[in-house]
């Protein structure tokens, strides 16, 4: 009788956004290969039934999560203290599940790396972040625990460079695996925008300053001032603690120059209906490690206009599979929208080029194959890891 291997995935929340959705793809891939998959979450939420539907077991474990609000030396030290206090619970979970491999989804859970190594499990960390703006000491503190992982999965070259730039010793254990995104069940055929007609834009993102939905609103104001009837659908919710930013967006949307043209749809799932209703999808993030929204929009056959920020430069070939504009510049974004709507041939070219790129380079099938291959390799590897974790 074949022995069933177990992978324990530690995820920072039960939300259903980029890194959470990608983790669902990892769950499906491993379950499909006969692995038992257990996912440890700090609490319940929308992610739980999605995990269970894909064959994962959900265990609620009390552990702290590093947030942007803690991104300071003092904040990291305070969380390190809380994480150390939770080590016993994590190690007990690993022992109870009989985990062969511990898969830590994001760098915000360094204590799971420590707990895994103390328990002599193989540890893989999926790095979704590409932090370049924080102080060097903070970036070093965030990434140093990754030295104790057996392997890293990085979602883009930008993520790899940001991670290894703060801790050079991580380069040798970094494995680039681009995100994989499922195709829509039946994308709606893109309609041509009639001259003088209404232009429908969509943005799908967390409502946070770095995702820059405020830049999209300002671009709408510029377009409307030019006499172009432009509407924007904002799909997403804020992180806990960023409710103030959503309030500021709503206050801006109520001003006379854009009043009635901005819709706040909240969290939308599945996202395909919102994308199908758009003529153009915008992604104006100031920093973006990868950006699943771009791939989803491309798969929907919509022209994409994104900021020239980190991972966007890896999912978009400018002028072929989308347009890239200067981050933080609403005029540049407005100019690009006007260019697309005034040039039907360009809109069609970007839509087709984007879809072809997404299907070829960012499919869920390619992702699943790469993830399974890496995890199987790590699970069966008997060599002593490069970095040893010494305990007293």
DSSP 297-334: HHHTT--EEEES-TTHHHH--BTTTBEEE-TT-HHHHH
Q: Please compute the mean of the pLDDT values over residues 120-143 and round it to a whole number.
A: 81
Query: Token pair of 350, please?
Result: 């970007």
Residue pLDDT, tens place only, 223-253: 999 999 999 999 999 987 889 999 999 999 9
Domains of the chain: which residue ranges? 6-180+364-380, 199-361
Question: What percent of the chain stands above pLDDT 70?
Answer: 91
Whether residue 304 is predicted with pLDDT greater than 60 in this model: the reply is yes
Spatial CA neighbour of 115 closest among 148, 76, 73: 148
Spatial CA neighbour of 178 closest among 51, 31, 321, 363: 363
22: exposed, middle or buried (Cβ count in 10 Å: 0-12, 13-18, 19+)? buried
- pLDDT reported for residue 330: 97
Whether residue 350 is predicted with pLDDT greater than 80 in this model: the reply is yes
CATH classification code of 199-361? 3.40.50.2000
The answer to whether residues 287 and 328 touch, using CB atoms and an 8 Å cutoff, is no
Whether residue 28 is predicted with pLDDT greater than 60 in this model: the reply is yes
Query: What's the whole-model pTM score?
Result: 0.84
- pLDDT reported for residue 336: 97
Output the average pLDDT for the chain: 88
Q: Please compute the mean of the pLDDT values over residues 348-370 and round it to a whole number.
A: 93
Q: Please compute the mean of the pLDDT values over residues 248-276 and round it to a whole number.
A: 93
- pLDDT reported for residue 69: 56
Give CA–CA dist 317/38, Å, rounded.
38
Helical H segments across 152-310, by residue range: 157-166, 213-225, 243-253, 272-276, 292-299
Query: Token pair of 241, please?
Result: 């603690």
pLDDT-based confidence at residue 130 (cuts at 50, 70, 90): confident
Please determine whether the domains at 6-180+364-380 and 199-361 fall in the same fold group of CATH.
yes
pLDDT-based confidence at residue 327 (cuts at 50, 70, 90): very high
Q: Provide Rg for the chain, Cα atoms.
A: 22
Whether residue 381 is predicted with pLDDT greater than 80 in this model: the reply is no
- Is the omega angle on the peptide bond into residue 270 within 30 degrees of 0, that is, cis? yes
CATH class of 6-180+364-380: alpha beta
């Amino acid at each position: 009788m074949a022995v069933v291997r177990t992978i324990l995935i530690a995820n920072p929340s039960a939300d259903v956004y980029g890194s959470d959705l990608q983790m669902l793809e990892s769950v499906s891939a491993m379950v499909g290969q006969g692995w038992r998959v257990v996912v440890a979450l700090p609490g319940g939420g929308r992610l739980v039934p999605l995990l269970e539907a894909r064959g994962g077991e959900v265990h609620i474990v009390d552990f702290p999560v590093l947030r942007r609000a803690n991104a300071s030396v003092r904040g990291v030290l305070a969380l390190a203290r809380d994480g150390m206090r939770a080590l016993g619970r994590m190690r007990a979970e690993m022992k109870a599940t009989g985990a062969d491999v511990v898969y830590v989804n994001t760098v915000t859970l360094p204590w799971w790396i420590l707990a895994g190594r103390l328990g002599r499990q193989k540890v893989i960390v999926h790095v979704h972040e590409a932090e370049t703006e924080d102080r060097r000491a903070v970036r070093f503190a965030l990434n140093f625990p990754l030295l104790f992982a057996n392997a890293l999965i990085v979602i883009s070259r930008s993520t790899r460079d940001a991670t290894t730039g703060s801790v050079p010793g991580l380069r040798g254990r970094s494995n680039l695996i681009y995100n994989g995104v499922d195709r829509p069940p039946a994308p709606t055929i893109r309609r041509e925008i009639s001259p003088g007609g209404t232009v429908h834009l969509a943005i799908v993102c967390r409502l946070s300053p770095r995702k820059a939905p405020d830049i999209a609103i300002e671009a709408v104001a510029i377009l409307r001032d030019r006499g172009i009837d432009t509407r924007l659908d904002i799909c997403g919710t804020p992180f806990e603690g960023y409710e103030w930013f959503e309030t500021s967006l709503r206050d801006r949307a109520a001003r006379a120059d854009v009043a009635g043209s901005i819709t706040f749809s909240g969290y939308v799932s599945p996202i395909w209906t919102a994308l199908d209703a758009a003529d153009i999808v915008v992604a104006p993030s100031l920093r973006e490690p990868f950006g699943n929204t771009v791939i989803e929009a491309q798969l929907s056959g919509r022209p994409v206009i994104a900021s020239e920020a980190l991972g966007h430069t890896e999912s978009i070939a400018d002028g072929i599979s989308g347009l890239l504009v200067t981050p933080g510049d609403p005029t540049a974004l407005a100019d690009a929208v006007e260019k697309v709507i005034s040039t039907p041939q360009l809109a069609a070219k970007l839509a087709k080029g984007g879809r072809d790129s997404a299907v070829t380079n960012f499919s869920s099938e390619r992702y699943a194959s790469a993830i399974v291959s890496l995890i199987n390799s790590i699970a069966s590897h008997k060599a002593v890891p490069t970095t040893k974790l010494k305990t007293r």
